[in-house]
Amino acid sequence: MDRNNRGKVGKDNVELDNNKNGDVCWWLLHKGLASFFLCISMFGLLVRWTVSLHSYSGAGNPPKFGDYEAQRHWMEITVNLPAQDWYINSTKNDLSYWGLDYPPLTAYQSYIHGLFLRFFDPESVTLFTSRGYESYTGKLLMRFTVLSSDLLIFFPSVLYFIHAYYDVHSRGRKADVAWHILLILINPCLVLIDHGHFQYNCISLGLALAAVAAILSQRDLLACVLFCLSLNHKQMSTYFAPAFFSHLLGKCLRRKHPLLEISKLGLVVLGTFAMVWWPYLHSRDAALQVLSRLAPFERGIYEDYVANFWCTSSVLIKWKRLFPTQSLRLFSMVATILACLPSMIQQILAPSSKGFLYGLLNSSLSFYLFSFQVHEKSILLPLLPATLLAMEWPRPFKLLTHYALFSMFPLVCRDNLILPYIALYALCIFLYHPPGGRWDGAKRHHSTPLTLVSVLLTLAYLGSLVLHIVYLTVRPPERYPFLFEALIMLLSFSHFVLFAFHTNTKQWMLSGHLIGSDKGKKQH
């Protein structure tokens, strides 16, 4: 009842606002948020499918091809071999050629998609002979599997999140909600990687997003199940684990029977894991074999040019030469834990939904910056909580999206995806600056005070734009063939670090007044 009334008041306010601002996009909201969501989903689908017309990673590039071939190969393996053999090296399953190294849920997903492919184009998943299979139909079907996963998992999760988030923070205007939906659904990096480069991040991120939504709507057990599923689709979701852990722990500690609550959550987690890992639980060896596939410790501490601490500092300190992998592993673990400790402590002491979102951002950022074996694409993980918080601080968010895209630029160039990169970049500039200045319109002042920081940020921004062009046109000097990659990495890294400081302080600033308000709630 109460909510309905509030909604009505909100609606009236929006109409007043519309008349005042002369906004150009009022008509989109005229029919209510549900139809707006439908409309934006359509647009999201259009953008995703048009991006998927372009090239993919490793197109026409034997012998190893790229991620597209890896995913296709997993479908080939899972469809043709029994589940027990998926992770084991054998004559039929050569693990050195794109062996399965994601958790079982990815394998199941590959199995389902493999069945789909076998139905329409059997040649594309036959054992052995289909290696490096590329065709018009094959590409179409593969692209379709990503699009359908996105539509079935990521889109509903966004809806769930919006529902949960604006239930808690109901003071938001309708137009704000609308723009927020748009920002989450049309995230240029995610679209580019999933539908251009070719991956299934939409599934693991979608599950994680649904888990966040479940936490916001106080369904902790459901959140545990969803987050475990997300972890079991891509181990990279561990980036979020500290935030989930600390928030849930903090919450349990404030309940009447903390131990009971914690054991309930623990049982749910174990149960979910047991279900997903069922085919590998019959013996210890089988489970350990899968586990060893998931932890790629034999690879180096970083790959290519990723804008994290290890890679950037390797310009000065040759980590790989100075230390054995063993100790590097330890270093990175300690650094990561230290980096996400402040945000974890904050959440254990004062769990709150906003603090939780900041915690997600901080823990994923610290993983990105300090953990072992980080890839350029991992920036997608911090970017997800950042989009969830976009309405809180639009300007830093825009900057983060810019540098996230920028840090992936060399990868995008390798994949021949420059055109969709440009188009998506332009599209998100248009969407972030709607006419009439909608979502940060109230705060937009043309005369922002000229501080040293803002001047530096603007200069860096312009520099990054120039670097785009330089990277494409100028050949680097022979002595430093990776000069421009290093510059891109340096610029992105410095911004990510600044960003991490900024968000950590923001999270801690929250706790001051929130402790008070939470106590107030308890007394009710």
Binder of another protein out of 14, 33, 47, 216 (CB under 8 A): 47
How buried is 277 (Cβ within 10 angstroms: 0-12 exposed, 13-18 middle, 19+ buried)? middle
Asked whether position 441 contacts another protein by CB under 8 A, the answer is no
Least distance CB 150 / another protein (angstroms): 13
Residues 61 and 313: their CA atoms lie apart, in Å, by 32
Binder of another protein out of 74, 389, 420, 464 (CB under 8 A): 420
Least distance CB 59 / another protein (angstroms): 12
Closest CA to 365 of 346, 347, 349, 343: 343
- Cβ–Cβ contacts within 10 Å for residue 75, how many? 25
Asked whether position 16 contacts another protein by CB under 8 A, the answer is no
Residues 97 and 138: their CA atoms lie apart, in Å, by 20
Residues 239 and 366: their CA atoms lie apart, in Å, by 8
Asked whether position 189 contacts another protein by CB under 8 A, the answer is no
Least distance CB 416 / another protein (angstroms): 9
Count of residues binding another protein (CB under 8 A)?
A: 38
Left (φ > 0), alpha (ψ -120 to 50) or beta: where does 147 sit?
alpha
Binder of another protein out of 119, 278, 430, 482 (CB under 8 A): 430
Asked whether position 424 contacts another protein by CB under 8 A, the answer is yes
Q: Which stretch binds another protein (CB under 8 A): 153-161, 200-208, 414-422, 478-486?
A: 414-422
Residue 14 phi, psi (nearest 5): -60, -45
Q: H-helix or E-strand containing 458?
A: helix 452-473
Residue type, 64: K
Asked whether position 426 contacts another protein by CB under 8 A, the answer is yes
Binder of another protein out of 54, 234, 377, 398 (CB under 8 A): 54
Helices (H), 136-240: 136-149, 155-168, 174-185, 188-191, 201-216, 220-233
Binding pattern for the stretch 142-161 against another protein, x by CB under 8 A and - elsewhere: -----x--------------
Least distance CB 190 / another protein (angstroms): 15
Binder of another protein out of 42, 317, 330, 515 (CB under 8 A): 42
Binder of another protein out of 436, 483, 510, 518 (CB under 8 A): 436
Q: Which is nearer to another protein, 28 or 399 (CB)?
A: 28
Residues 72 and 67: their CA atoms lie apart, in Å, by 8
Q: Which is nearer to another protein, 62 or 435 (CB)?
A: 435
The C-alpha angle with vertex 227 and arms to 223 and 230, in degrees rounded to 5, equals 145
Contact 453, 422 (CB under 8 A): no
- Cβ–Cβ contacts within 10 Å for residue 114, how many? 23
Least distance CB 469 / another protein (angstroms): 17
Cβ neighbors of 161 (< 8 A, separation 6 or more) are: 184, 209, 210, 212, 213, 216, 388
Q: Which stretch binds another protein (CB under 8 A): 236-244, 278-286, 385-393, 422-430?
A: 422-430
Asked whether position 46 contacts another protein by CB under 8 A, the answer is yes
Binder of another protein out of 16, 24, 288, 509 (CB under 8 A): 24
Tokens 């007044």 correspond to 513
Binder of another protein out of 308, 434, 484, 489 (CB under 8 A): 434
Contact 181, 162 (CB under 8 A): yes
Instruction: DSSP letter for 302, please.
Output: B
Asked whether position 27 contacts another protein by CB under 8 A, the answer is yes
Binder of another protein out of 222, 423, 457, 490 (CB under 8 A): 423
Asked whether position 43 contacts another protein by CB under 8 A, the answer is yes
Least distance CB 161 / another protein (angstroms): 22
Least distance CB 320 / another protein (angstroms): 38
Residues of the shown chain interacting with another protein in the complex, contacts defined by CB under 8 A: 19, 22, 24, 26-28, 30-31, 35, 38-39, 42-43, 45-47, 49-51, 53-54, 136-137, 140, 147, 419-420, 422-424, 426-427, 430-431, 433-436
